[in-house]
Amino acid sequence: MTTEPPYLAIAAEIRRRILAGRLAPGDRVPSTRAITREWGVAMATATKALAALRQEGLVRVEPGVGTVVVDPKRTRHSTTSTLTRTRIVRTALDLADTEGLNAVTMRRLATLLDTSAMALYRHVPGKGELVRLMTDEACGEVPLGPAPTDWRQGLERAARWLREVYARHRWMAQVMASLSRPVLSVNAMAYTEWVLGVLWETPLSPSQKLHAHLTLFAFVQGLAMADDLEEQARLDTGLSDDEWMEQNEPRFDAMQSGGPYPLLDAIAHDGGFELSLESLFEFGLRRTLDGIAALIDETSG
Amino acid sequence: MTTEPPYLAIAAEIRRRILAGRLAPGDRVPSTRAITREWGVAMATATKALAALRQEGLVRVEPGVGTVVVDPKRTRHSTTSTLTRTRIVRTALDLADTEGLNAVTMRRLATLLDTSAMALYRHVPGKGELVRLMTDEACGEVPLGPAPTDWRQGLERAARWLREVYARHRWMAQVMASLSRPVLSVNAMAYTEWVLGVLWETPLSPSQKLHAHLTLFAFVQGLAMADDLEEQARLDTGLSDDEWMEQNEPRFDAMQSGGPYPLLDAIAHDGGFELSLESLFEFGLRRTLDGIAALIDETSG
DNA sequence: ACCTGAACACCGTTCAAGT
DNA sequence: ACCTGAACACCGTTCAAGT
């Protein structure tokens, strides 16, 4: 038996653990750091050992997790579909929807698409532009339909359309809000045009039409931001809203010492009166439309 | 002359450049990378050379910039004020106000406070909690004053209060919005209590009171988000809104091919009818209050 | 008691090199 | 033409060590 290089010996040992089932598919194999400790070798040796296993196809680097055991049953995308801008944008969209915008990193995206991070830059100039493409794609998913003749029905449909887009893609609340630098999105522009068209027959001045549109937009945007923050909190902490409230009860109690809040208390003890973002949307939508109706009455009267 | 170690020779050369004025205070000295290229030495040598200069007090590491020449005139905080939670929070607040929330990193904060990043963790459990402390501090800056007896005046004052808080600290739009997991802030709770108090004498149900409050909150939040995104864009790109518009004109023109937008065009060519977030705030505030007034009339009538 | 340095596991992006 | 690897200059946080 010739003296085997240490890195091969280490790779062999980890291979044995995998084949014996002691390390199941998806499990993390020892990190380079762990290997240096366990075998008393240098980092370079540990890295080489893992690289050998990676080359064999036994393990794979999962960004954000570490090096994990590959599942041999999961038939790897043998039809290595070519990398295209659309494929990148769609994958990024899915990722943002399920794990939040923070999870969309070039490296993570690259492993999902089975390429290197740098290959993405051949199809997309950078992350900023990628996010812009994602918003445009998202705005194109839901059709607006023909504009109703009644301005109120039209504004209401526009608000519901926007709310649905945000509901499908909560992360969009973080990027859509800019008013003076509108998102360079064909589909977002079509939406604005649609709303202005709906208001065209009203006696409002062009400036008032734009203000009316953006008032409703800001309200829906504020709600979407709340939606997004809560979703993000759920993903980050793994806690539901109720669990979070329960866990933070002592802190809320401690804050009571800063002064009594009888009205807030009354509401909290009634369980927030079935307050949901859905009921808030319906309430606020009606109030805002009533307010705009008052202005239109005033102007035409 | 004994053979000087290479790292000392390199340090001496850079020192000469500084003393000769070829490298002025604030200028970047060669990075470790640049040193390896210029002198053909290993990274370890380059690092040791810079460390020597740092120890002398001639240069200092400016996170996000590199190693820069120290200004000897700027009398360094000789009264090394002790590190306290308040001092950390105030410094973080200033930093977020001037450079955005993204600029608030533990390392950056530490150099501003003349300590190591890890020293901060002795006073603050982590970054999330730091941001929470910042919001509470910010909400405490502006006094709400006594509540008016008229609900409409009260709601209006609440909206203006919130808008002022956001105007002073644009980054807050990113963290305040959550409704089901309220920010654990004494001062934010006091604000909610104040608004509910203002609405107490109206004939609205408790649930409607809460909805009315949050409708206005969502609107102001949506506007604040726009403010923040625009500020952030200005900081990131260094472009004013007008410069940005000019630079992106070709892209907007290209989008026209996706369909004609006559109404948007008409507005764009009139310069947006003096649309500003300020005029939008005034417009939307009035509409929302009118809408709530309609509900109150209906309920009491 | 308080602070530090090195390390871990990440980021986006540049650049030179490979097929 | 397309993709890759190494590198740069960062992150937040843990841990063991220093004064």
Domain total in chain B = 2
Picking from A254, A247, A170, A284, the residue whose alpha carbon sits closest to that of residue B181 is A247
- Asked whether residue B110 falls in the same domain as residue B158, the answer is no
- The residues near A298 (Cβ < 8 Å, ≥ 6 apart) are none
pLDDT the model gives residue A155: 98
pLDDT the model gives residue B164: 96
pLDDT the model gives residue B78: 40
Q: How confident is the model at residue A75 (pLDDT cuts 50, 70, 90)?
A: very low
> Where does a domain end: B105, B139, B173?
B139
- Asked whether residue B74 falls in the same domain as residue B127, the answer is yes
Q: Give the best-scoring range by mean pLDDT among A56-60, B53-57, B58-62, B227-231.
A: B227-231
- Asked whether residue B98 falls in the same domain as residue B219, the answer is no
The three-class DSSP label of residue A60 is strand
Tokens of A63: 């960004």
Cβ-based contacts of B228 with chain A (< 8 Å): 177
Picking from A63, A114, A113, the residue whose alpha carbon sits closest to that of residue A88 is A113
Cα A72 to chain centroid, rounded: 30
Picking from A209, A208, A187, the residue whose alpha carbon sits closest to that of residue A142 is A187
Does the beta carbon of B283 lie under 8 angstroms from any beta carbon of chain A? Answer: yes
H or E stretch covering A69 = strand A66-69
Nearest CA in chain A to B200: A263
Instruction: Say which CATH number the domain at B51 has.
Output: 1.10.10.10
Question: B276 versus B78: which is more confidently predicted?
Answer: B276
pLDDT the model gives residue B56: 65
Q: How far apart are CA B209 and CA A201, in angstroms?
A: 34
Domain containing A17: what range? 6-139
> Where does a domain end: A71, A106, A139?
A139
Query: For residue range A233-290, what is the model confidence (pLDDT) as tens digits?
Result: 888 877 888 888 888 888 877 777 667 788 887 877 766 556 789 999 999 999 999 9
**Phi/psi class of residue B31: alpha, beta or left (left: φ > 0; alpha: ψ in -120 to 50)?**
beta
On the CB side of A185, how many CA atoms lie within 13 Å of its CA? 26
Picking from A114, A6, A11, the residue whose alpha carbon sits closest to that of residue A61 is A114
Q: How far is A214 from chain B (nearest CA, A)?
A: 7
Q: How far apart are CA B46 and CA B40, in angstroms?
A: 10
Please name the nucleotide lying closest to B83, CA to C1'. C2
Picking from A195, A155, A147, the residue whose alpha carbon sits closest to that of residue A287 is A155
Question: A218 versus B43: which is more confidently predicted?
Answer: A218
- Asked whether residue B34 falls in the same domain as residue B85, the answer is yes
Chain C nucleotides close to protein (CB under 7 A) are: 2-16
pLDDT the model gives residue A1: 36
Nearest CA in chain B to A258: B186
Cβ-based contacts of B197 with chain A (< 8 Å): 263
Whole-prediction pTM: 0.77
Does the beta carbon of A166 lie under 8 angstroms from any beta carbon of chain B? Answer: no
Residue B206 lies in a domain: yes
pLDDT the model gives residue A78: 40
- The residues near A147 (Cβ < 8 Å, ≥ 6 apart) are A154, A194, A197, A198
Instruction: Say which CATH number the domain at A169 has.
Output: 1.10.357.10
Cβ-based contacts of B288 with chain A (< 8 Å): 215, 219, 284, 287-288, 291
Tokens of A231: 């979703």
Q: How far apart are CA A148 and CA B262, in angstroms?
A: 18
Nearest CA in chain A to B230: A178
Beta bridge partners of B60: B68
Q: What is the mean pLDDT of residues B34-57?
A: 72
Picking from A222, A249, A279, the residue whose alpha carbon sits closest to that of residue B207 is A279
CB contact under 8 Å between B259 and A190, yes or no, is yes
Q: How far apart are CA B63 and CA B116, in angstroms?
A: 12
Residue in B200, B223, B259 closest to A263 by CB: B200
pLDDT beyond 50 at B165: yes
- Asked whether residue A108 falls in the same domain as residue A197, the answer is no
Q: How confident is the model at residue B5 (pLDDT cuts 50, 70, 90)?
A: low
Does the beta carbon of B73 lie under 8 angstroms from any beta carbon of chain A? Answer: no
pLDDT beyond 60 at B266: yes
pLDDT the model gives residue B149: 94
Cα B255 to chain centroid, rounded: 32
> Where does a domain end: A88, A104, A139?
A139
